[in-house]
Amino acid sequence: MAKILVIDDEEQLRDLLKQMLTRDGHEVVTAFDGVEGMRAFNQSHPDLVITDIIMPNKDGIEVITELLCRKPNLAIIAISGGRRAITAEFNLESAELLGVKGILSKPFTRDQLREAVNQALGL
């Protein structure tokens, strides 16, 4: 299957995503924030990046922008719960305008994750 980088500052969600994606046969690398995420990207060269939008040090919009400048066709899924619903919606719309392959609003189901991953990877 695919090599996937998950970037999220929420440890529980990061671990849960890793478990779900690993069960689906993917190799998963995780990172706490955008800075760590960019380091992990450079080392692992993933097929897909799943990134939260609101994170410390370097947010998801910065990560998405940098990744797409380096690799314009990279599959990226943006996830956000935001502090309020309107914030999450705005963040996800911004990510979509940048060119991500998918968006997921927290909380999301395993089936929604699987569908977004398959679509982003063209499976």
Question: Rounded to an integer, what distance in angstroms lies between the CA atom of residue 116 and that of residue 111?
Answer: 9
pTM of the model: 0.93
Both tokens of 58, joined, read 């370097």
DSSP state of 57: S
Q: What average pLDDT does this structure show over 13-35? A: 97
Question: Is residue 11 over pLDDT 90?
Answer: yes
Dihedral in degrees, nearest 10, Cα atoms 12, 67, 122, 8: 10
Q: What is the pLDDT of residues 37-91, one digit of tens each?
A: 999 999 999 999 999 998 999 999 999 999 999 999 999 999 998 555 556 677 7
pLDDT of residue 82: 57
- Domain 3-121: CATH superfamily is Response regulator (3.40.50.2300)
Average pLDDT of 25-38? Answer: 98
Question: How far is 81 from 85, CA to CA, in rounded Å?
Answer: 7
